[in-house]
Amino acid sequence: MPIRVASSTDIPDWIALRARLWPGTSRAEHRAEVEEWLAGTPDRCIVFVAVGAERGLLGFAEAALRHDHVNGCETTPVAFLEGIFVRSEMRGTGIGAALVRSVQAWAIERGCTELASDAALANRDSHAFHAAMGFAETERVVFFRKRLGET
Ligand SMILES: CC(C)(COP(=O)(O)OP(=O)(O)OC[C@H]1O[C@@H](n2cnc3c(N)ncnc32)[C@H](O)[C@@H]1OP(=O)(O)O)[C@@H](O)C(=O)NCCC(=O)NCCS
């Protein structure tokens, strides 16, 4: 299936897929975020989409160069897979792998020698996918938050 760089014509489909991956994000926030992604230059970030024979996107991958320290990595900048999603009925057909390969090629062109990613502890499907794509697990992290201004 064709993989190409996302463009403004993809926004509606892309937001629909993002809403399934990150349901806690509002449509307005998704809209603002995709516009920010599209405004980014390829030296900073990239979004690839998988295009089906019919209308509609089958999946997407968002990646960016991170210049701050990335857990488990040794170089900087590190290419980071910020989000990847494939429509559920199309999973297991190689689309996720094709998206990661496109991200890898983009990262190598930018001189990166490491590609990093993360996944929720409970997302075992994603862990298995990452392992199949050649990622090695580096760290398990728990995020904390404390509200300030409260006793
Ligand atoms: C993770 C996800 C992107 C994988 O996409 P996909 O198109 O199904 O992956 P592919 O078909 O290209 O599979 C690539 C490899 O990963 C393996 N893989 C994918 N999903 C797997 C699973 N659930 N369990 C075990 N292996 C899996 C495949 O077997 C394949 O390995 P192979 O090359 O050795 O045959 C997709 O399942 C998805 O969108 N999940 C929901 C969103 C999500 O969790 N995103 C990641 C957030 S960190």
What's the pLDDT tens digit per position in 24-62? 999 999 999 999 999 999 899 999 999 998 878 999 999
User: Is residue 146, in this structure, part of any structural domain at all?
Assistant: no
User: Is residue 149, in this structure, part of any structural domain at all?
Assistant: no
- Mean pLDDT, the chain, rounded, equals 96
- With beta carbons less than 8 A apart as the criterion, state whether 105 and 142 touch: no
**Could you identify the atom of ligand 1 that is nearest to the CA of residue 130?**
16
Residue matched to tokens 């996918």: 129
CATH number at residue 57: 3.40.630.30
Q: How far is the CA of 138 from the centre of ligand 1 (A)?
A: 19
- DSSP per-residue letters across 89-145: GGTTSSHHHHHHHHHHHHHHHTT---EEE---TT-HHHHHHHHHTT-----------
User: Is residue 73, in this structure, part of any structural domain at all?
Assistant: yes
pLDDT of residue 151: 67
- With beta carbons less than 8 A apart as the criterion, state whether 91 and 103 touch: no
User: Is residue 37, in this structure, part of any structural domain at all?
Assistant: yes
Number of domains in the chain: 1
User: Is residue 98, in this structure, part of any structural domain at all?
Assistant: yes
pLDDT of residue 1: 74
> Residue 17 sits in which domain range?
3-132
Any residues with Cβ below 6 Å from ligand 1, and which? 21, 84-86, 91-97, 119, 123, 125-126, 128-129, 132
pLDDT of residue 150: 74
> Which parts of the chain sit beneath pLDDT 70?
151
- With beta carbons less than 8 A apart as the criterion, state whether 28 and 46 touch: no
pLDDT of residue 34: 98
User: Is residue 150, in this structure, part of any structural domain at all?
Assistant: no
User: Is residue 52, in this structure, part of any structural domain at all?
Assistant: yes
User: Is residue 141, in this structure, part of any structural domain at all?
Assistant: no
**Could you identify the atom of ligand 1 that is nearest to the CA of residue 95?**
7
CA distance 27 to 18: 9
Mutate which of 58, 115, 129, 133 for ligand 1? The one with the most ligand atoms within 8 Å of its CB, which is: 129
